[in-house]
Amino acid sequence: MNRRHVIRALGQGIGLTALAVAMVGCAGNDAPLETANVGQISEYRLGAGDALRVIVFGEEQLSGEFRVDGTGKVAMPLIGEVSAKDRSTRDLEKEISTRLAAGYVKEPKVSVEVLNHRPFFILGEVRNPGQYQYVNGMTALSAVAMAGGYTYRAKEDYVLITRGADPKKEIRRAPITTSVMPDDVVRVPERYF
């Protein structure tokens, strides 16, 4: 629905609720296509809320389970806060190793693994919309399955997705085979016929 249609609808006295419903119905068709597919999604990037296990081999007192805080940092023994936001686990391993090697541990060997990922969100025409725990390798179709499947009104050939990593939070139309990442919002649109 373009600006001219909105102005005409307001001029004809259509209620705001009806206008909002009409605009939501059109959002799926007007949304730009998602360009990334399953093979193009990059390595998992850490963010606030991720639970991590950090192992410094041979140094039990420096190892443990840590959570990425709201500012995107992990508080580590001896070296203090380490920035984890938007980094891979390999990047974080290198950063921790470098900082430990600077006067604390001789030739540190560090391993970082994600224990619990941040959630993703699914809305619209699914049986149980809400927040769900991210699982590696997820697609929009597996997200729908986690949410109990489609309702009878669901449009099943694509989803609308807002990427958590997108600073513009643009809604994009994507095939059901598209990858889902933590913080993404997936919406299954309603079919009208």
Predicted pLDDT at 67: 96
Predicted pLDDT at 23: 41
pTM: 0.72
Q: What is the residue-level pLDDT of the chain in tens, covering all 193 positions?
A: 444 443 444 444 444 333 333 444 445 566 777 765 444 456 789 999 999 999 999 999 999 999 999 999 999 999 999 999 999 999 999 999 999 999 899 999 999 999 999 999 999 999 999 999 999 889 999 999 999 999 999 999 999 999 998 899 999 999 999 999 999 999 999 998 7
CATH of domain 33-41+118-193: 3.10.560.10
* Parallel, antiparallel or unpaired: strands 119-124 and 158-162: unpaired
Cβ partners under 8 Å of residue 110, min gap 6: 54, 55, 56, 57, 93, 96, 97, 100
Instruction: Encode the chain in three state secondary structure.
Output: CCHHHHHHHHHCCCCHHHHHHHHHHHHHHHCCECCCCHHHCCCCCCCCCCEEEEEECCCHHHCEEEECCCCCEEEECCCEEEECCCCCHHHHHHHHHHHHHCCCCCCCCEEEEEEECCEEEEEECECCCEEEECCCCCEHHHHHHHCCCECCCECCCEEEEECCCCCCCCEEEEECCCECCCCCEEEECECCC
pLDDT, tens digit, for every residue of 13-24?
444 333 333 444
Cα distance between the two ends of the chain: 19
Rounded to the nearest integer, the mean pLDDT of the chain is: 85
CA angle 23, 186, 27 (to 5 degrees): 15
Residue with tokens 């109990």: 148
Predicted pLDDT at 42: 60
Predicted pLDDT at 28: 55
Domain range annotation of the chain? 1-30, 33-41+118-193, 51-116
Cβ partners under 8 Å of residue 89, min gap 6: 44, 46, 52, 112, 113, 114
pLDDT, tens digit, for every residue of 90-108?
999 999 999 999 989 999 9
What is the domain class of 51-116 according to CATH?
alpha beta
165 bridge partner residues: none
Domains 33-41+118-193 and 51-116 share a fold: no
